[in-house]
Structure 1
Amino acid sequence: MGRIDHFHNPDAPPANSVVPSVVAFVQNSAGQVLLIKRSDNGRWALPGGGHDAGEFISDTVVREVWEETGIKVEVIELCGIYTDPAHVLQYDDGEVRQQFSMCFRARPVGGDVRTSNETTQVRWVDPADLSQYDVHPTMQLRIQHAMDRTRMAPYIG
């Protein structure tokens, strides 16, 4: 399934759904950040995905990181909530989802890097090299906020 991110695009279709989702900012002991290359839009991002009914939100973080990367994580803390109604995700099936994403810091506790049907590449990236990757501006913001250890659980409207 393909995906188009519309970010403050006046020609974007109107949202027809809102799905709570998570992304995980995972750093290893060397300080490298876990990134995925998404199979739906070809961009680099933090691992994450939609929250399922019956899950605690921290379980969503653990499940999504494991499914997309093969890395087992432990959630540390919330770093931000992002709910910009002018950021919609348009999918091939007709869904147009308003962004509603929570970003969590997490630490790796096991597993081995692997890809999935949602990821074409998974890698640990040195923070100094992040600018070399095609990362959507909204994901760049999440990474920037998560790297700032003085920030904790900001609300981003």
Structure 2
Amino acid sequence: MSRRTDYFDDPNAPKANNIVPAVTAFVVNDAGDVLMERRSDNGRWGMPGGVQDIGENIAGTVVREVLEETGVLVEVVGLVGIFTDPGHVIAFADGEVRQEFSLCFRARPVSGEIKVSSESLEVRWIPRAEIESLDVSPTTRRRLTEGFRDSPLPLIS
């Protein structure tokens, strides 16, 4: 997996040269814990997710990415929000620099056992009380906050 560097409202950030539809999944179990992974590309904690492949619908992207990255099969049950902040760019080792375009979906676990993938160093159900102490990006923190807000209307930003 490519190494990546996230920039947040940084005047020295490289200019975006791409925008790619991507998803993250706010998956909460019956105990109220959130499914998170410590990413292998930047070492920070995040929600499972990734880019949409040609030939799949966006809900299918969520299901595929969560299963691939965590071993947990999920069902998409709603939308947390649409995150398109041009101040958040992601620079990859191959020269690609993406402007954020991420749809964060609510999902519930259906089956499966947690497993680590090539994209994760660790996968866990994280109790809400522990989330503040995790090393997460500002955009992940915002998605978590919005997910826990449990608004019937998705955030559009």
**Interval containing the TM-score (normalised by the shorter chain):** over 0.9
TM-score scaled by length of structure 1: 0.97
Matched, 1:17 2:18: yes
> 1:32: how far off?
0.4
The corresponding residue for 2:122 is: 121
The corresponding residue for 1:154 is: 155
* CA RMSD across the alignment: 0.7
1:127-138 superposed matches below 5 A: 127-138=128-139
Residue 140 of structure 2 aligns to which amino acid in structure 1? M
Structure 1's consecutive aligned runs of 4 or more residues displaced over 3 angstroms after TM superposition are none
Residue 73 of structure 1 aligns to which amino acid in structure 2? V
The corresponding residue for 2:103 is: 102
> 1:153: how far off?
1.4
The corresponding residue for 2:90 is: 89
* Structure 2 SS opposite 1:54: coil
1:145–1:151: 8 Å Cα contact kept in structure 2?
Answer: no
Residue 62 of structure 1 aligns to which amino acid in structure 2? V
Residue 111 of structure 1 aligns to which amino acid in structure 2? G
CA distance in 1, matches of 2:82, 2:58: 13
The corresponding residue for 1:80 is: 81
The corresponding residue for 1:51 is: 52
* Structure 2 SS opposite 1:29: coil
CA distance in 2, matches of 1:52, 1:38: 20
CA distance in 1, matches of 2:151, 2:100: 25
Identity %: 52
CA distance in 2, matches of 1:150, 1:80: 10
TM-score scaled by length of structure 2: 0.97
* Structure 2 SS opposite 1:53: coil
CA distance in 1, matches of 2:152, 2:90: 27
The corresponding residue for 2:64 is: 63
